[in-house]
Amino acid sequence: MPDHDIQIQDGRLSASIDLAVRYLRDDLLIGLPTETVYGLAALASRPKAISKIFQVKARPTNHPLILHLASYRQLEKWAQNVPSYVEVLCEKFWPGALTIVLQRTPQVCDEITGARKTVAIRVPNHQVALALLNRIDDGLVAPSANRFGKVSPTSAKHVVDDLGDQVALVLDGGVCDIGVESTILDCTRSSPQILRHGAISKDELESAANISINLSDGESRASGMLEKHYAPNCRLELVETTADAKRRAAELVSEDQKIEILDFFGDLIVYANQLYARLRQADKSGVDVIIAVMPINTGLGEAIRDRLTKASAASSS
Ligand code: AMP
Ligand code: MG
């Protein structure tokens, strides 16, 4: 077992940021807090370290990585032919949980994008991530710091639990504020398209930039669009109401199943914030079946429903 105390460094300390910079420049990977989930980070200009991310996560190389930048001002180095409405969106939502897919510049290496001509970019809204990004004169690529297809990490300890022997250190930035991955908006087509739901909703994006957004056409270009993802080891069943959850729980208990109910009674912010920690906790405590009450299908609720639906798809195969 790795030593949590040594490996987890307080991300608010400049000495921890110094150490992280040193490790990154040695092509090592680090755990990085963001407001969405914790990332497994490498420098964007280091193909060797980026390849390690795919190995460590067992992530297919055709699932491109999100590039994290310190500010909008760095965008022109990494993206070109940026539509004018993107400027409005970035102005309003960055730093924040919005990832924008744009045409890439030659600065972006093939390892990041799986050789696509497009790149996904965001500026995270987390003081530790921004402190690090402001030190490196580079970008950071950082997919979620978990094995591909499994539950994302929302604390430094989750990262050590999953990938402790693969990261040089984890910067501790506390529990992630939002708790689910960013909204991804593809801006490389004639009309923008949502590839993944997150805390920033389609309505907010449309009204901020006066645009009309399509939902995904189903072409699987984002791992968030796979049918199975975010999955705990135990079975996950979805119900629409608290009463349904209670009924199903009684049935399962009578079959000697150890169960856990996820129900946040309409509080979407707390639901998103605790979702992954609760899925992880259920696995740790030997739960057989998690019963999750689905939230309403608007705003953040849409993102939570998406994660739960994909997490439960893994249980049924
Ligand atoms: P994560 O797996 O949480 O790191 O999320 C990254 C998501 O962004 C994945 O689902 C990727 O497939 C998606 N993504 C990254 N780059 C691109 C791109 N160039 N075009 C479309 N989706 C992308
Ligand atoms: Mg992920």
| The domain boundary residue, chosen from 187, 215, 243 | 215
92 and 175 belong to one structural domain: yes
Here the CATH number for the domain that contains residue 247 is: 3.40.50.11030
Here the CATH number for the domain that contains residue 28 is: 3.90.870.10
| The domain boundary residue, chosen from 215, 249, 278 | 215
Q: How many separate domains does the chain show? A: 2
Question: Does 123 map to a domain?
Answer: yes
Ligand 1 atom 1: residue of nearest CA: 143
Question: Does 230 map to a domain?
Answer: no
242 and 211 belong to one structural domain: no
Q: Is 147 in the pocket of ligand 1 (CB under 6 A)?
A: no
Residues of the chain with pLDDT under 70: 1-5, 216-226, 314-317
**17 touches 132 (CB < 8 A):** yes
Question: Does 74 map to a domain?
Answer: yes
Question: Does 228 map to a domain?
Answer: no
Residues near ion ligand 2 (Cβ under 5 Å): 144
- pLDDT score for 228: 78
Which amino acid belongs to residue 93? F
**7 touches 167 (CB < 8 A):** yes
Distance of CA 119 to the CA centre of its chain: 16
39 and 152 belong to one structural domain: yes
Range of the domain at 299: 235-315
Q: Is 146 in the pocket of ligand 1 (CB under 6 A)?
A: no
Q: Is 223 in the pocket of ligand 1 (CB under 6 A)?
A: yes
Q: Counting atoms of ligand 1 from 1, which one is nearest the CA of 152? A: 3
Write the pLDDT tens digit of every residue in 64-110: 999 999 999 999 999 999 999 999 999 999 999 999 999 999 999 99
- What's the distance, Cα to Cα, between the start and end of the chain in Å? 31
Q: Is 307 in the pocket of ligand 1 (CB under 6 A)?
A: no
Three-state SS annotation for 215-270: ECCCCCCCHHHCCCCCECCCEEEEECCHHHHHHHHHHHHHCCCCEEEECCCCCHHH
Question: Does 229 map to a domain?
Answer: no
Q: Cis peptide before 95, with omega less than 30 degrees from 0?
A: yes
Q: Is 118 in the pocket of ligand 1 (CB under 6 A)?
A: yes
Ligand 1 atom 4: residue of nearest CA: 143
